[in-house]
Amino acid sequence: MKNVNELLGLKNPAEVNEKLNELLASFQVYYQNLRGFHWNVKGKLFFTLHSKFEELYDDAAEKVDEVAERILTLGGKPLHTFDDYLKTSKIAVVKDEHDGLKLVEAAIDNISTLIRLEREIIPVAEKIDDEGTASLMSDFISEQEKTVWMLKALID
């Protein structure tokens, strides 16, 4: 019986899975940052940001699941411990920040890092004809670019 990669026509998705795990770990830290932003935001924009951060972490949770399932689809093993996430993430933990504007800036920085990682995955996926991963990353990027624009508009 053929394995999943043979059935999908993918040669060697190991590099794609490695990059996806880096993205997964970064998404997990981003998600946890957003939870903290939601709980701890203070200031004139409290009501707006409290709701927005909840919307963003709900979206991040869905993307975490999609990335992990993509790794599994490609025959890989998604990272699943906080220890692994912290070692692998390209996003830093944001701790003890309450100022709404600084939290928005941190969210923009986090999302920009995710976009950079997603852009790095596309050519790696294309190299092995992995249209599914390339398309998923493209969809994420389009949505996140709009989010960055909107968050930037809020604080400019």
In the chain the domains, ranked by start, together with CATH numbers, are: 11-155 (1.20.1260.10)
The reported pLDDT for the residue numbered 111 is 98
The reported pLDDT for the residue numbered 10 is 73
Instruction: Give me the sign of the Cα torsion angle 6, 10, 12, 15.
Output: negative
The reported pLDDT for the residue numbered 5 is 64
Beta bridge partners, 42, equal 99
Beta bridge partners, 99, equal 42
What does the H/E/C string look like for 15-32?
A: HHHHHHHHHHHHHHHHHH
* Run means of pLDDT, 10 residues per run, the chain, 156 residues: 64 92 98 98 96 98 98 96 98 97 98 98 96 97 98 94
The reported pLDDT for the residue numbered 12 is 82
Flag whether the pTM goes above 0.75: yes
For residues 107 and 36, give the distance between their C-alpha atoms in angstroms, rounded to a whole number. 11
State the burial class of residue 7 (Cβ atoms within 10 Å of its Cβ: 0-12, 13-18, 19+): exposed
